[in-house]
Amino acid sequence: MRSLYISIYSEFYKSKKTLAFWASILLPLIICSLITFGFYSSSEKILNLHQPPMILWLRYIGAALGVMGILILPFYVIFMAFSVNNIEHKNDTWKSLFAQPLNKFSIYAAKYIFAIILIFLSLFLFCSLTFAFGHLLQLLVPKFNFNQYDPSMILIKFYVKLFLSSLGILSIQFILSLLWGDFLKPMGIGFVGTIMGIIAGNVGWKYAYLIPYSHPSLVLSGSKAAANPLNFPIFTPEIYSSLIYASILFILGYFIVMKKSIK
Amino acid sequence: MSTFAIETVGLNFNFGQQAILNNLALQVPKGSIYGFLGPNGAGKTTTIKILLNLLKSPSDQVFIFGKEINNNRIAILKRVGALVEQPAIYGHLTGKENLVNRCLLLGIKRSKADEMLAIVGLTEAANKKSNQYSLGMKQRLGIALALVSDPELLLLDEPTNGLDPNGIIEIRNLMIELTTKHHKTILVSSHLLAEIERTATHVGIINKGELLFQGTIQELQLLNKPLLEIDVNDIDGASMLLTENGYEIATKTDAKIWIPFVSQTESGIINTLLIQNGFTVTSLSLQRKDLENLFLDITKTN
């Protein structure tokens, strides 16, 4: 346990000066700011629609979720899986990492967990910044009715679901980036996978839930299709599928690490 | 307790079909500086990676401090520090941050980082990004990383690579100090014998995965037999005469003959023998090969 903790802490120490780490903070900050600015600058138009507070919130939340969920989240996850492994490939440090008196499982699991932490951090920031910036909009434009509805439950549910749906992609990409030191192979496969996933998710293919890359877009299209937008279930087939992929590939990755000769 | 810090027993290793190490039997005594010599591609780095369990060795062939490596990986690695090939350094971190990160992983106090920087002379560059370091500075940082855990056994793969003459002398002195004052064992690989012979107490010479010589540096020097070089007019006739009189011809060219040197008196007798038989001897001299040539000879015959 101690060996896992120090490995995770070292991952944090190593990457605190890297783009990957800052991207997980800057990405939600930039996207949420842009959307908020959009709402602020076109507040007249939005106010003219006279939407009830819940619909206004859904519109506002949906703006971030729409961009984030379908396109940015898969690519962000691909990038994170790449970065945590690339830091060792690039510096040729696998050999010194595995020559430390730490068990190999800790070293491997720490990297995986660190990638999950970065994704969680980013989605957590998306969730809380959406909430905070919505209330900021209310302060700036008092005619909005953001204060008449509490969106926290729906926000949390959406982002928890998105988070869970991203774990399948993460696990595939994690193994690819572990095996290959270059950028193009995992990125290329991830890109093709994501495009396929989006198409499969959007055309409503029956077995789309079996493709990890389509999980985030299924989460979004699924909740839109739900009769009541507030009452969608978290554990749907795509989420189970994502979690199963994640667990199996996590174990598989460990065997790869155990077998891997550090050349 | 084993007296060897490192012992390999009939170690074989292949990358797929290609055999890299063949029946390697290293014996590195505790407290020694073991010069691990061989040309490029001889299997030195592979051996060091096996000693770190980075490459999996067959069971019961590799023992560090008397313990089998595959079953005692963590316990062994706690006592070993290593520099393998190019130093493994995170380029986006400063030299100090690289050491602090290693301290974190090893559970050592961070203050040790400054101490190590001072030992390898990088205090002034401590807060510079390490990808801006020169090759020599990277090598020093690599050595600092290997030393930070105060290991009993150090594996240094070509540690003076890229260092200037001053740096080489510093590393040499550091190695001697570590073994004499702090009773460490050091295995240092190199493809240059000249670099090893001043520090090493023991030498292992490897070529194409086979250990060709292993012993103390004195034993290596004993192998280095002196020769008597004879300049004589009729090489073929002289060789025949010498052979008939029971002398062994080590080698000969169109103008010279070499035979093993025994003593000065013996050289005089040979001279008289040649002259009495009508040969003209223009010079007789004692030749001793330097260790570098000896090393080349040993690896060439393989």
Average pLDDT for chain A: 88
In the predicted structure, residue A226 carries a pLDDT above the cut 70: no
Q: Check if B110 contacts A (Cβ < 8 Å).
A: no
Give yes or no: residues B174 and B274 share one domain: no
Chain B: residue whose CA lies nearest to A9: B104
> Is residue A263 very low, low, confident or very high in pLDDT (cuts 50, 70, 90)?
low
Q: Three-state SS for A76?
A: helix
Same domain? For B283 and B208 the reply is: no
Q: How far apart are CA B249 and CA A261, in angstroms?
A: 50
* Amino acid A229: pLDDT: 63
Strands B281-287 and B227-232: antiparallel
Model pLDDT, residue B293:
72
Tell the burial category of A43 from Cβ atoms under 10 Å away from its Cβ (0-12, 13-18, 19+).
middle
DSSP letter at B108? -
Amino acid in the structure at residue B216: T
| Residue B240: domain span | 224-300
Q: Convert the pLDDT of each residue in B4-28 to its tens digit.
A: 999 999 899 988 888 889 999 999 9
Name which of B193, B209, B203, B188 is nearest B295 in CA terms.
B193
Q: Are residues B205 and B261 in the same domain?
A: no
**pLDDT at A237 > cutoff 90:** no
Which of B93, B106, B132, B156 is the best mutation test for A, with the most CBs of A within 10 A? B93
The 3-state DSSP class for residue B282 equals strand
Percentage of chain A surpassing pLDDT 70? 96
Whether pLDDT at A227 is above 60: no
Looking at the structure, do residues B158 and B204 belong to the same domain, yes or no?
Answer: yes
Q: What angle do CA B218, B221, B225 make, to 5 degrees?
A: 140
B242 and B177 together in one domain:
no
Q: Which of these, A172, A184, A252, lies nearest to A211 by C-alpha position?
A: A172
Place of tokens 């299709």: A225
User: What is the total count of domains within chain B?
Assistant: 2
Nearest CA in chain A to B105: A6
Q: What is the CATH number of the domain that holds B41?
A: 3.40.50.300
Picking from B65, B84, B90, B133 by the largest number of A CB atoms within 10 A of its own CB, the best residue to mutate is B90
Across the interface, whether the CB atoms of A6 and B89 are under 8 A apart is answered: no
Which residues from chain A sit within 8 angstroms of residue B86, using beta carbons? 92
Q: What gap in Å lies between CA B185 and CA B35, rounded to an integer?
A: 11
Q: How far is B257 from chain A (nearest CA, A)?
A: 48
pLDDT given at position B112? 92
Strand B153-157 with B80-83, pairing: parallel
**B248 and B104, same structural domain?**
no
The per-residue pLDDT for A225 is: 62
The predicted structure's pLDDT at residue A228: 66
CA distance A162 to A147: 25
Q: Are residues B102 and B176 in the same domain?
A: yes
Question: Which of A7, A91, A263 minimises the CB distance to B91?
Answer: A91
Task: Determine the average pLDDT of the residues in A127-143.
Answer: 90
The complex's ipTM?
Answer: 0.86
In this structure, what CATH number is given to the domain that contains residue B249? 3.30.70.980
- What confidence tens digit (pLDDT) does each residue in B244-263 have? 988 888 888 888 888 888 88
Higher-confidence position of B221 and A261: B221
Is residue B124 located within the same domain as residue B19? yes
Residues B22 and B45 in one domain: yes
pLDDT tens, per residue, chain B with 302 residues: 578 999 999 899 988 888 889 999 999 999 999 999 988 888 899 999 999 999 988 889 999 999 999 999 999 999 999 998 888 899 999 999 999 999 999 999 999 999 999 988 899 999 999 999 988 889 889 999 999 999 999 999 988 887 888 888 888 888 888 888 888 999 999 888 877 888 899 999 998 888 988 999 888 877 777 888 899 988 989 999 999 988 888 888 888 888 888 888 888 999 999 999 999 999 988 887 666 677 777 777 65
The dihedral sign for the CA sequence B266, B267, B272, B277: positive
pLDDT score recorded for residue B301? 61
Q: How sure is the predictor about A30, in pLDDT bands with cuts at 50, 70 and 90?
A: very high
Q: In terms of domains, do B132 and B70 share one?
A: yes
Q: How far apart are CA A253 and CA A246, in angstroms?
A: 10
Q: At B82, which amino acid appears?
A: A
- Measured between CA atoms, the residue of chain B closest to residue A96 is B88
Question: Do B187 and B69 share a domain, yes or no?
Answer: yes
User: Which of helix, strand or coil describes residue B91?
Assistant: coil
Query: Are residues B208 and B245 part of one domain?
Result: no
